[in-house]
Amino acid sequence: MTLTELKQFMDTHKKEIDVRMPDYIETMKGPQTLKEAMTYSIQAGGKRVRPLLMLAAVSAFRSVEEQDYQAACSVEMVHTYSLIHDDLPAMDDDDYRRGMLTNHKVYGEAFAVLAGDGLLSKAFEMISTLTHISNDRKVRMVMELAQSSGLEGMTGGQASDLEGENKTLELKDLEYIHDHKTGALLTYAVTAGALLGDAPEEDIKKLKQFSRELGLVFQIKDDILDIEGDENEMGKAPGSDEGRNKSTYPSLLTMSGAKEKLVFHAEKAKSFLPGSSSYTSLLKDFVDYVAERAH
Amino acid sequence: MTLTELKQFMDTHKKEIDVRMPDYIETMKGPQTLKEAMTYSIQAGGKRVRPLLMLAAVSAFRSVEEQDYQAACSVEMVHTYSLIHDDLPAMDDDDYRRGMLTNHKVYGEAFAVLAGDGLLSKAFEMISTLTHISNDRKVRMVMELAQSSGLEGMTGGQASDLEGENKTLELKDLEYIHDHKTGALLTYAVTAGALLGDAPEEDIKKLKQFSRELGLVFQIKDDILDIEGDENEMGKAPGSDEGRNKSTYPSLLTMSGAKEKLVFHAEKAKSFLPGSSSYTSLLKDFVDYVAERAH
């Protein structure tokens, strides 16, 4: 497979995801302003990397089915919730994300907290109401998502990230942060895809190792783009991490060191891909996509 | 059964719950400060009404087992998460709860948001890792909890509550708020107890109707206590709702009207209890306990 074929896969499925995302909230009963706040952020664009990664993992084992979109959109709900909370004044205090006002700038802090809360609960509901996989697999997905999103995963990573501001971190601390803040949910996306596809346990194990490396590629690339990226494509000003005195891969390793590390983890990720069937090349191409993206 | 027997049931099981609550967090790996923030609030006292209600519902169908505590503590994690977020400056802006500083007063707003987030994820993990019930029942519990805690339940109720401040609400608006903000999670607690006890669907349906009424009893009593309660027993100053211009049952119905309504819903709750076996009298006594408590 080539990056063109991956791009086609992503374009096709991204459209389906973008169409469905607001529907999951629209059909719910609840206070109108809170529904709007939740919908605002899930419609605020984004590359949909996590759901697409989940579908790429599914298609390693079988073709994508309608119900897979519900599982895939579910991880995007969790990602969106984390962005809303991370942007809050008490956290990263961001006014813009992807070129749009952040949730609390539009709906106020209270509703931003609640919109995030509502999206996290919704994600678990969406897993529990899948109809195309066994309850055993659903329970496993709930467990994996809960662990990836909580203290031992993303939430813990965000806490460490906040504690690390204005400190010069060692490389291992930086990796801990990214492994949890970004890596855990990417790993969940791939693991869930494998669970949806009824993958053997051995493959799931290898795909988790794959995901960990992919997560590092993702974050190193983010740090590089923060310095070298184009403001229009990024939706935020380059250098914003530097301005907040955050340790980054380029600041710890120099830019060329960071780029070497990017290639190292990209290759390592690919080495964990099980088997040699056509699907693995879709995930393999995903690594290159993440490493070479421009925003 | 008598209120004394219920009290004994509650005292016994409350001890077990209080001992176990911090253990679920202690055994997790994550940033120390965030663990402390989560532990602070789950150890900050409280009557443990929701887990005890769940165990009372379990004991309607069989005796309480060790693993039931995990399910019971799980709903208390969700309750605690909601208190931490509700206390935030952007929400109810409370400095004290149960006579102790609120989470954000001790750990700051960012960690309070994250502590709440971590507790919600943890709750779903605790259901997914139960070993004494079928995966079918666990999936159902996840679905019920997600619906009770999210936009269609507690989070939606909190949003409506915030929107209702400084407005004179009609009784139906006040009931909508309480049905969702407080009632939904109480209903989940009873429903989950019935699911743990492998109750027939018909009983679950009746117990949900029971819970809705119990939720109203709970809230009407809260409003009455806010005016008539003893500050030492309550852990907060009486009249604090009034001070924030919140509509309450006594403000809409007068105090004697509110007390009549309390009795009405207490009787209605009891009328939904299925069968006449000994267990139902434990839940029946729970209604009286809620209606007659002093704090």
CATH classification at residue A178: 1.10.600.10
Higher pLDDT, B195 or B293: B195
pLDDT (average), residues B97-101: 93
Assign B96 to helix, strand or coil: strand
Q: Write out pLDDT tens, residues A80-114.
A: 999 999 999 999 999 999 899 999 999 999 999 99
Look at B155 and A127 and tell me if their CB atoms are within 8 Å.
no
Please, are residues B148 and B184 in contact by the beta-carbon 8 Å criterion? Answer: yes
Q: Write out pLDDT tens, residues B13-47.
A: 999 999 999 999 999 999 999 999 999 999 988 99
Percentage of chain B exceeding pLDDT 90: 83
Percentage of chain A exceeding pLDDT 90: 83
Q: Is pLDDT above 60 for A278?
A: no
Look at B151 and A85 and tell me if their CB atoms are within 8 Å.
no
pLDDT (average), residues B240-249: 72
* Chain B residue numbers touching A151 (CB-CB < 8 A): 25, 28, 30-31, 34-35, 38, 118, 121-122
Q: Write out pLDDT tens, residues B107-122.
A: 999 999 999 999 999 9
Is A166 in CB contact (< 8 Å) with chain B? no
pLDDT (0 to 100) of residue A168: 84
Look at A31 and B139 and tell me if their CB atoms are within 8 Å.
no
pLDDT (0 to 100) of residue A247: 84
Rounded Cα–Cα distance for residues B109 and B115 (Å): 10
pLDDT (average), residues B194-219: 95
* Chain A residue numbers touching B116 (CB-CB < 8 A): 117
Confidence band, pLDDT 50/70/90 cuts, at residue A37:
very high
Closest CA to A22 of A35, A32, A31, A33: A35
Write out the DSSP string of A92-105.
Answer: T--SEETTEE-HHH
Confidence band, pLDDT 50/70/90 cuts, at residue B124:
very high
Rounded Cα–Cα distance for residues A292 and B211 (Å): 55
Q: Is pLDDT above 90 for B100?
A: yes
* Chain B residue numbers touching A88 (CB-CB < 8 A): 109-110, 113
Is A136 in CB contact (< 8 Å) with chain B? yes
pLDDT (average), residues A31-45: 96
Q: Write out pLDDT tens, residues B128-175.
A: 999 999 999 999 999 999 999 999 999 999 999 999 888 888 999 999
Selected residue of A29, A122, A124 to mutate for chain B interface (largest B Cβ count, 10 A): A124
pLDDT (0 to 100) of residue A102: 98
pLDDT (0 to 100) of residue B56: 95
Rounded Cα–Cα distance for residues B133 and B257 (Å): 44
Please, are residues A261 and A178 in contact by the beta-carbon 8 Å criterion? Answer: no
Q: Is pLDDT above 80 for B2?
A: no
Q: Smallest Cβ distance to B121: which of A25, A31, A149?
A: A149
Selected residue of B142, B158, B177, B185 to mutate for chain A interface (largest A Cβ count, 10 A): B142
Distance from CA of B44 to the nearest CA of A (A): 19
* Chain A residue numbers touching B244 (CB-CB < 8 A): none
Tokens of A178: 């990214």
Q: Is pLDDT above 80 for A295?
A: no
Please, are residues B35 and B25 in contact by the beta-carbon 8 Å criterion? Answer: yes
Residues 32-51 of chain B whose Cβ lies under 8 A from any Cβ of chain A: 33-35, 38
Which residue range is the domain that position A83 belongs to?
Answer: 3-292
Q: Smallest Cβ distance to B118: which of A31, A145, A151?
A: A151
Is A241 in CB contact (< 8 Å) with chain B? no
Residues 74-93 of chain B whose Cβ lies under 8 A from any Cβ of chain A: 85, 88, 90-91
* Chain B residue numbers touching A90 (CB-CB < 8 A): 108-110, 113
Percentage of chain B exceeding pLDDT 70: 92
pLDDT (0 to 100) of residue A161: 93
pLDDT (0 to 100) of residue A281: 77
Q: Is pLDDT above 60 for B67?
A: yes
Q: Write out pLDDT tens, residues A48-77.
A: 999 999 999 999 899 999 999 999 999 999
* Chain A residue numbers touching B133 (CB-CB < 8 A): none
Distance from CA of B35 to the nearest CA of A (A): 8
pLDDT (0 to 100) of residue A45: 83
pLDDT (0 to 100) of residue B98: 87
- What is the rounded average pLDDT for all residues in chain B? 92
Q: Which residue of A has its CA nearest to B152?
A: A30
- What is the rounded average pLDDT for all residues in chain A? 92
Confidence band, pLDDT 50/70/90 cuts, at residue B247:
confident
Q: Is pLDDT above 90 for B196?
A: yes
Look at B146 and A162 and tell me if their CB atoms are within 8 Å.
no
Q: How many CB atoms lie within 10 A of CB A154?
A: 28
Assign B58 to helix, strand or coil: helix
Domain total in chain B: 1
pLDDT (average), residues B57-66: 94
Q: Which helix (H) or strand (E) holds B36?
A: helix B32-42
Please, are residues B52 and B17 in contact by the beta-carbon 8 Å criterion? Answer: yes
Q: Is pLDDT above 60 for B234?
A: no
Q: Write out pLDDT tens, residues A128-171.
A: 999 999 999 999 999 999 999 999 999 999 999 999 888 888 99
Helix axes B103-128, B32-42, angle to 10 degrees: 90
Write out the DSSP string of B97-121.
Answer: ETTEE-HHHHHHHHHHHHHHHHHHH
Look at A138 and B139 and tell me if their CB atoms are within 8 Å.
yes
Q: Is pLDDT above 90 for A210?
A: yes
